[in-house]
């Protein structure tokens, strides 16, 4: 992703502000509160003038005390308004950032499998988590600091003009210079923030790799090299953080120097006016106090703008993600009670223009048991992904119960299909949580039934904590065969009309395979089973065998009712 040259990206801002649209009433009340803050400051300025021009010259201690208490009272009122505004702004920001995160989460489910396999998921994770938090901080700077300070600064400008227009001209003579410096430093900050955020993403990705692949690192004896690699990433983050902080510091110091110079000019010229009796001491001090107030709020405005420029980079990143058009291939809405009839009609598929297979046709009917065999890389697993609707073919079509996939709600259809992949995904949690994933109201009896069918119940009952046993990331605390049986139980739990087993027996011995397949044979009589396997003991349970050969799917001829030859990887396997 390249950094845009413009200071702000307006389409990205329109996307972001849309999440604040339904908060318009609260934003209006917050603006009213900010305006009240500016009104409350005004009496303080005039009370200061009254103290020095009336109370002190008249030596009226009572008036001095009352005026001072008045200043303190208005300060309390201002604090109360600030607290109220803070509460309102927190509500607005939290609800709007929630909507933003919800939109991004929804987008992740809408994006295609190609996107998720092509993009670095660790970077996507870091961007969503970190950049939305940066936008939350930016929103806080915008609503809690910038807007109130703008209102107060405008009000103070009018007060200062009323007090002494000539000193106002002196004071604002440096404002064009301040504006130009802010604009220039803003561009520098933008570039530094972009580089810093990329360095932070690299750091986040590196730490994830260390945690995720610790065993691989140790097996390969790569601790020293990996440590050096991650240390280099940490060093880059340190350098970019230092450079960004340095730019922030320079910006702040230049701004403070210029506003300090404005204050010095006010003291010199105002002091001369007092000395020549063209201003009273009260008029001068009230003007000076108002100017100090103004400078402090202008400082808040300028620093907030820098914060917003920084947040703008995160906003661009998230906007690009939210508007990625690489969506899932099927957008149909029709929901059906799938009966198990699935047809693949003259389907051709390619990855990045590299053809995987051409003109593949297959019909799956209820109670059928079809085995698909073939060498690695011939397209067996790809065919499964097409059946699940993860990809769409460039030729041909798929139908469920005679209805084209393009018309169907694929999320709903998948709920009637049980799938066991070659490397079944398991997450850190209990056995029960992993088997029941996707089912939020399933009974324990149904879970036990599925585990008994998959033979998982046999090893689960031997564990001290049974179904409450923690299995670790990717089931690292279980054996490969145990993980396989849990995945089969999870697929069976949904009581599917079609069960797809993609190399389901990699980690199971022959006896266990036969027992498992016999259990599956005794399931729902209408259950269709699609077997993707190299294992002859699994193929033996199929009624029909198809083989990927030369980029297409061909039927394996049956020599006799009890004898079939299956050619695979240069060998002939026989089924009796």
For the chain, which domains are there? 10-322 (1.20.1560.10), 342-575 (3.40.50.300)
Q: Which residue has the higher pLDDT, 183 or 273?
A: 273
The C-alpha atoms of residue 186 and residue 528 are separated, in whole angstroms, by 63
Contact 147, 33 (CB under 8 A): no
pLDDT score recorded for residue 102:
93
At residue 537, the pLDDT reads 66
pLDDT band of residue 575 (cuts 50, 70, 90) is very low
Confidence of residue 29 (pLDDT cuts 50, 70, 90): confident
Which residues lie closer than 8 Å to 311 by C-beta, 6 or more apart?
134, 135, 137, 138, 139, 141
Q: Are 233 and 203 in contact (CB under 8 A)?
A: yes
d(CA 485, CA 456): 5
Segment 198-243, tens digit of pLDDT: 888 888 888 888 887 787 788 777 888 888 988 998 898 888 888 8
Query: Which of these, 343, 347, 353, lies nearest to 392 by C-alpha position?
Result: 347
For residues 203 and 238, give the distance between their C-alpha atoms in angstroms, rounded to a whole number.
10
Burial class (CB in 10 A: 0-12, 13-18, 19+), 337: exposed
Q: Going along 367-526, which residue ranges are E strands?
A: 369-373, 395-400, 403-404, 417-420, 498-502
Nearest CA among 538, 497, 550, 530 for reference residue 421:
530
Cα–Cα distance measured from residue 240 to residue 199, given in angstroms and rounded to the nearest whole number:
7
Q: What is the pLDDT of residue 566?
A: 46
Q: What is the pLDDT of residue 301?
A: 82
State mean pLDDT over 477-483: 91
Q: How confident is the model at residue 9 (pLDDT cuts 50, 70, 90)?
A: confident
CA distance 46 to 58: 17
Mean of pLDDT values over 435-462: 92
pLDDT of residue 359: 93
Q: What is d(CA 483, CA 475) in angstroms, rounded to the nearest whole number?
A: 6
Report whether 357 contacts 516 (CB < 8 A). Answer: no
At 82-133, the pLDDT tens digits run 888 888 888 899 999 999 999 999 999 999 988 988 888 888 988 898 899 8
Predicted confidence at residue 535, as pLDDT, reads 67
Q: How much is the average pLDDT of 479-489? A: 92
Distance CA 287, CA 302 (A): 22
Rg (CA), the chain: 35
CA–CA gap between residue 561 and residue 543 (Å, rounded): 10
**Percent of residues, the chain, with pLDDT higher than 90:** 33
- Residue 248: its pLDDT value, please? 74
What DSSP character marks residue 497?
S
Return the axis-axis angle of helices 61-110 and 24-50, rounded to nearest 10°.
Answer: 160
- Output DSSP code: residue 128: I
> Would strands 395-400 and 403-404 be described as parallel, antiparallel, or unpaired?
antiparallel
State residue 4's pLDDT score: 52
Q: What is the mean pLDDT of residues 37-57?
A: 86
- Whole-number percent of the chain with pLDDT over 70: 94
**pTM for this prediction:** 0.81
DSSP 464: T
Q: What is the pLDDT of residues 318-347, one digit of tens each?
A: 999 999 999 999 999 999 999 999 999 999
Q: Please, what is the Cα angle at 34 between 32 and 37, to 5 degrees?
A: 115
Q: Which of 333, 331, 350, 354 is nearest to 393 (CA)?
A: 350
The pLDDT, as a whole number, for residue 467 is 94
In the prediction, which pLDDT does 564 show? 43
The Cα 364–Cα 277 span in angstroms is 102
Query: What region does 240 belong to: left with phi over 0, alpha with psi -120 to 50, or beta?
Result: alpha
């Amino acid at each position: 992703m390249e950094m845009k040259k413009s200071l702000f990206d307006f389409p990205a801002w329109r996307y972001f502000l849309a999440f604040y649209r339904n908060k318009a009433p609260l934003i209006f009340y917050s603006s009213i509160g900010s305006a009240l803050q500016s009104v409350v400051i005004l009496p303080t300025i005039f009370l200061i003038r009254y103290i020095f021009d009336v109370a002190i010259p008249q030596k009226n201690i009572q008036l001095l005390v009352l005026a001072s208490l008045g200043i303190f009272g208005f300060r309390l009122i201002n604090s109360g308004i600030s607290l109220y505004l803070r509460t309102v702004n927190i509500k607005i920001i939290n609800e709007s950032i929630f909507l933003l995160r919800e939109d991004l989460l929804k987008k992740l489910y809408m994006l295609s499998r190609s996107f998720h396999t092509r993009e670095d998921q660790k970077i996507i994770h870091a961007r969503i988590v970190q950049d939305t938090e940066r936008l939350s901080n930016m929103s806080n700077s915008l609503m809690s600091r910038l807007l109130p300070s703008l209102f107060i600064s405008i009000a103070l400008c009018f007060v200062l003009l009323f007090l002494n227009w000539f000193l106002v001209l002196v004071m604002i003579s440096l404002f064009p210079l301040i504006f130009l410096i802010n604009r220039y430093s803003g561009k520098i900050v933008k570039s530094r923030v972009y580089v810093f955020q990329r360095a932070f993403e690299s750091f986040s990705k590196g730490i994830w790799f260390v945690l995720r692949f610790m065993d691989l690192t140790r097996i390969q004896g790569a601790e020293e090299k990996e440590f050096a690699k991650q240390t280099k990433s940490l060093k880059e983050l340190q350098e970019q953080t230092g450079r960004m902080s340095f730019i922030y510091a320079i910006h702040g110091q230049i701004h403070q120097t210029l506003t300090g110079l404005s204050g010095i000019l006010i003291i010199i010229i105002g002091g001369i006016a007092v000395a020549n009796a063209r201003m009273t001491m009260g008029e001068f001090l009230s003007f000076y106090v108002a100017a100090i107030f103004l400078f402090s709020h202008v400082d808040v405005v300028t620093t907030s703008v820098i914060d917003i420029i920084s947040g703008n980079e995160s906003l661009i990143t998230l906007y690009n993600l939210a508007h990625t058009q690489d969506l899932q291939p099927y957008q149909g809405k029709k929901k059906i009670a799938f009966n198990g009839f699935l047809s693949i009609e003259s389907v051709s598929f390619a990855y990045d223009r590299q053809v995987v297979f051409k003109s593949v046709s297959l019909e799956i009917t209820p109670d059928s048991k079809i085995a698909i065999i073939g060498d690695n890389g011939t397209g067996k697993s790809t065919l499964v992904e097409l059946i699940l609707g993860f990809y769409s073919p460039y030729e041909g079509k798929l139908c469920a119960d005679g209805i084209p996939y393009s018309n169907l709600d694929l999320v709903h259809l998948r709920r009637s299909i049980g799938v066991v992949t070659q490397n079944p995904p398991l997450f850190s949690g209990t056995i029960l949580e992993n088997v029941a994933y996707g089912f939020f109201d399933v009974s324990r009896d149904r879970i036990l039934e599925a585990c008994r069918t998959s033979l998982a119940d046999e090893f689960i009952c031997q564990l001290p904590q049974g179904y409450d046993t923690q299995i670790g990331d990717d089931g690292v605390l279980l054996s490969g065969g145990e993980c396989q049986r849990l995945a089969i139980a999870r697929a069976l739990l949904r009581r599917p009309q079609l069960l797809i087993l993609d190399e389901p027996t990699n980690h199971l011995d022959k006896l266990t395979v036969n027992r498992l397949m016999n259990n599956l044979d005794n399931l729902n009589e209408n259950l269709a089973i699609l077997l993707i396997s190299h294992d002859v003991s699994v193929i033996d349970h199929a009624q029909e065998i198809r083989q990927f050969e030369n980029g297409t799917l061909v039927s394996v001829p049956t020599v006799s009712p009890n004898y079939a030859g299956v050619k695979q990887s240069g060998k002939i396997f026989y089924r009796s």
